[in-house]
Amino acid sequence: MRQPLAVVGVRLCVGALLLAAAVTATPAAAGSSSRRNGAPSVPRAWVPPVKSDRWECIVIHHSATDFGGAARFDKGHRAKGWDELGYHFVIGNGSDTRDGQVEVGPRWTEQRHGAHCRSPEDYYNEHGIGICLVGNFDEGPPSAAQVQSLTKLVRFLCRKYDIPASHVYTHGGVTHQTRCPGKNFDLKSLRRSVR
């Protein structure tokens, strides 16, 4: 398990196991939302303050843990020497944060590349929006609230950045080096609901 390229993604998921205490990541703004052109209202924090033409796809992960949230994963990623939380968004399961709560990471606010899906050329980190759902979906499916939030978020991102549903991927689907986000994660259904 020391092969550098292949294993990073797995380690990233497992990094969630590391303990954390302090809340350092910015939670999605509750209550405030932006609406324009009659489009469905989304939390203001989802709309980044700066423009970017970087985004071409979306990569879905699970944490492979029962507990977690942006702060815990941020701490775990820093403990491995990374600069900060590798994902752009984290969707809670009622452990560290509310079930279905969408946390927005600093990488999204700053429109920075992700650190969640290593591959040759690093395409998925450079151009992929990384979303992690808390939970282990090899053991059971995501909650209804998580699926609802994920669908809303992915739909918003696909429309905003002209990302086709066929460019919504799973971590294992692109690297073939991990089962992330687990056998119970339904990518087909997500893609259908985004179209």
Residues making contact with Zn ion (CB under 5 A): 13, 61, 171, 180
Strand partners, 42: 34
Closer by beta carbon to Zn ion, 13 or else 58: 13
Closer by beta carbon to Zn ion, 75 or else 171: 171
User: Of 87, 27, 32, 83, nearest to 63 (Cα)?
Assistant: 87
Closer by beta carbon to Zn ion, 156 or else 169: 169
**Token representation of residue 110:** 């700053």
Whether residue 137 contacts residue 185, with contact meaning beta carbons closer than 8 Å, is answered with yes
Min dist CB 119 to Zn ion, Å, is 12
Q: Which residues contact 167 (CB under 8 A, 6 or more apart)?
A: 56, 57, 58
Closer by beta carbon to Zn ion, 118 or else 171: 171
Min dist CB 130 to Zn ion, Å, is 8
Whether residue 153 contacts residue 102, with contact meaning beta carbons closer than 8 Å, is answered with yes
Min dist CB 179 to Zn ion, Å, is 9
Closer by beta carbon to Zn ion, 61 or else 152: 61
CA dist., res. 94 & res. 66, Å (int): 10
Closer by beta carbon to Zn ion, 61 or else 155: 61
Min dist CB 145 to Zn ion, Å, is 20
Whether residue 1 contacts residue 52, with contact meaning beta carbons closer than 8 Å, is answered with no
Beta strand 33-34 pairing with 57-62: unpaired
**Token representation of residue 60:** 């879905």
The length of the chain in residues reads 195
Min dist CB 174 to Zn ion, Å, is 10
Min dist CB 185 to Zn ion, Å, is 10
DSSP 30: S
